Structure 1
Amino acid sequence: MPDSRPPSEVRWAIVGTGAVSRHIAADLAAVPKTQLAAVLSRSLTKARTFADEFGFAEAFDDLGDLVADPQVDAIYIATPHALHAPMALRAIAAGKHVLVEKPLGVNAAEARRIAEAARRHGVFAMEAMWMKFNPSFRAFVDQARGGRIGDIRTVRGYFGLPLGTVDSPLWSAERSSSTLLDQGIYPVTLALELLGTPNGITADGHVRADGVDLTEYVTLRYDGGQVAHLAASMVQFIEPTASVSGTAGWMTIPAPFMQATQFATHAMEDGLTAKLFSPEVSRFDREGHGYVPMLRAVTEAIRRGDTEHEWHPLRATVDAFDVLDGIRAALTPFPAPHN
């Protein structure tokens, strides 16, 4: 039976050896009270090469062997979308803490199953929504919520970058590839942070014949008349910036907004005019590749014996998936683009 006591140091494993895993491995090395315990890849050769490069103690090519390893406390899962929930559930059942690369699953049902399993087994579980732990993003949200620009009326969040090609794994129906889950999840999370759950959704977009969504344009509507305008794409550029507007000014985050280190505040002066051309700019330092604040916060939470983090609890992930599923249901497809 796994030791239920909080560890003095958290022994981390990483599943997957792609680009995100490389950033996570490098940033984990900068977090106090961590050990680099193990790496898992479908190829044992790749796992061993990755382990040697970043200083992990063990390498595996079988998930069952990894989750059975008593030298592993927590697992970062960075695999294709379709594998997130199955792998997380196996790790949780083995008593391991999990941090799952976004999206947590492919729909709200999977997110709920992970949340229920984590509660049942008493382990920490979280979607790796690193944006929420970015000091700049947290200050942006705190100022907006705190009334710096009056009552919030409009939120805008865009994230469109051409990614891969038609035969790329990023476009794979079998792997549950999705612009909404890859890019759109950031604007949706921003809207929920600032406005909460909407009462209406309209959406248009490009969807391939096999169901892989390529572009979405979304409007979320709220009871008080507030709106969120969101867009995401993996086939075209849509300026990856964000803003929030209120009754006393507005705030903007430059590209790419989910990892920006600054934002600008255009607040009313003397109750008459906004700072049109000379906004107040708030700047912050980036740690590592930007994952350090999240990894540090999760490591500290696990060491305390917490099973969730207040900045991104499982309830918030489930709520976001309810909206993501609602966007899918509401989406009116445009003719698919020629590729």
Structure 2
Amino acid sequence: MTSKTQAPGLRWGIFGAARIARDLIPAIRASGGTVNIVGVRDPASEHARSFAQEWDISRLGSYQDVVDAEIDAIYNPLPNDVHLTWSERAMRAGKHALTEKPLSLNAQQAQQFAAVAADTGRVSLEAFAYRFQPHVRRIQEIVSSGELGELRHFQGSFGFLLDNPDDFRWIADKGGGALYDVGCYPVNFMRLLLGEPRSAQAAARYTDQGVDMALGGVLDYGSALAQISGGFDWGFRPELVLTGKEAVLEMVNPFESNSHSDLTVRVGEREETFAPSNGYTLMVEHFTRAVRGEEALLYPPADAVKQARVLDALFESVRTGGRVEISSGR
């Protein structure tokens, strides 16, 4: 896809040397931006030095060095429990913030993100890169066109085998767990297509350390139901099924953020194929244009608050064993 970015790129700083940063650095550079600094817990570590050398990043420092640097924006892929801490410090220091999903650990934190963005006039975006892929826009068009008829059921699942026992996603205090990491994707796609649900009912399997290794839920829309699930001990592929009164839409790998092969959307007997596309680059380009004032942010902080309310309700339902109403925030 041809880039729409016309304005000069941004000067970026990155918190941490996480694996996901390997997807964002090429996207930043493809958008015309530069990565000026990476901040890590221990700048003297071999891992940090190797990361900076591999990606040709001239400055290696601490997290605070990123906050203090002369840059335009930060990317925050740190463990979930410190998303708010460092993105807030960066925004208050004048930087725009692209923060990895989940933006926050609850709706209260998401509202704090929104308040800081409003107070500082900085752009804050939750980094769901899959949302910028062409197939997502096309599915939205199909639903809006009425081809499926009135939607009656949404089914979304995302899981994989997380077999590294040292991964922070197994640590409750760092915001680990399957819902935050993978289950949030079907929740997000559900909201893109159906809007905000009325209530949630959920169940989960937990580790001995109190981390959800798998979580599934049903969200009530009145005229439609949505089933979402995510897990760390699964062997099957992510899927999406939309059932309407007139037709069914199906897709494998709907949450793919950087597709390296064709993706296919099936509507009844018809198939639509989408060539490989990099959602990270498309997301960074959009973020750049929003920072430059060239277009409105597609997913403003209020959207992240609504996303967090659904996750909160799912966790609350697991805790109580009952149905949980989802606040509209009014």
TM-score (norm 2): 0.88
Residue 167 of structure 2 corresponds to: 168
Are 1:328 and 2:315 matched, yes or no?
Answer: yes
Q: Where does residue 232 of structure 2 map in the other structure?
A: 234
Q: 2:274: which partner in 1? A: 283
Structure 2: which amino acid aligns with 1:161?
Answer: F
Measured after TM superposition, the shift of residue 77 of structure 1 is 0.4
Distance 1:257 1:11 in 2: 28
Question: Larger Cα Rg: Structure 1 or Structure 2?
Answer: 1
SS of the residue corresponding to residue 172 of structure 2 reads coil
Matched length = 310
Q: What's 1:219 paired with?
A: 218
Distance change (3 Å), C-alpha of 1:145 and 1:284: farther
Contact 2:39 2:64 in 1 (8 A): no
Letter in 2 for 1:309: L
Q: Does 1:186 align with 2:185?
A: yes
TM-aligned CA deviation for residue 38 of structure 1:
1.1
AA at the equivalent of 1:218: G
When normalised by structure 1's length, the TM-score is 0.85
Instruction: Report the CA distance between 1:218 and its aligned residue.
Output: 0.7
**SS of corresponding position for 1:83:** helix
**Structure 1 portions without partners, runs of 5+:** 1-6, 268-274, 335-339
> What residue is the counterpart of 2:23 in the other structure?
23
**Runs of 4+ with deviation above 6 angstroms:** none
Structure 1 residues 154 and 258: CA distance shift in structure 2, 3 A: farther
**SS state at 2:11 partner:** strand
Gaps of 5+ in 2: 1-6, 322-330
Amino acid in the other structure paired with 2:282: P
Contact between 2:196 and 2:306, CA under 8 Å: does it hold in 1?
yes
Higher mean alpha-carbon deviation, 134-143 vs 174-183, is at 134-143
CA distance in 2 between counterparts of 1:167 and 1:144 reads 41
Could you say which residue in structure 2 is the equivalent of 1:309? Answer: 297
3-state secondary structure, aligned to 1:304: coil
Residue in 1 aligned with 2:325? none
Q: Percent identity?
A: 28
Residue by residue over 1:121-175, the C-alpha shift from the partner in whole angstroms, topping out at 9 and shown as x without a partner, is 0001111011111111121122212212122211110012121344432201221
Deviation (angstroms), 1:280? 2.3
Over aligned residue pairs, what C-alpha RMSD do you find? 2.1
The residue that corresponds to 2:94 in the other structure is 95
Contact 1:144 1:244 in 2 (8 A): no
Distance 1:236 1:183 in 2: 11
Pair 43,230 (structure 1): closer, same or farther in 2 beyond 3 Å? same
Matched to 1:13, the amino acid is: G
Partner of 1:135: 134
Output the amino acid matched with 1:237: G
**C-alpha distance 166-250 of structure 1, shift in aligned 2 (>3 A):** same
* Structure 2 contact 199–313 (Cα < 8 Å) conserved: no
Report the counterpart of residue 298 of structure 1 in structure 2: 287
Matched, 1:255 2:246: no
What amino acid sits opposite 1:265 in the alignment?
Answer: R
Q: Distance in 1 between matches of 2:315 and 2:94?
A: 34
Contact 2:214/2:230, CA 8 A, preserved across alignment: yes
For 1:103 and 1:177, the matched residues in 2 are separated by: 10
Amino acid at match of 1:330: S
Q: CA deviation at 1:305?
A: 6.7
Letter in 1 for 2:289: E
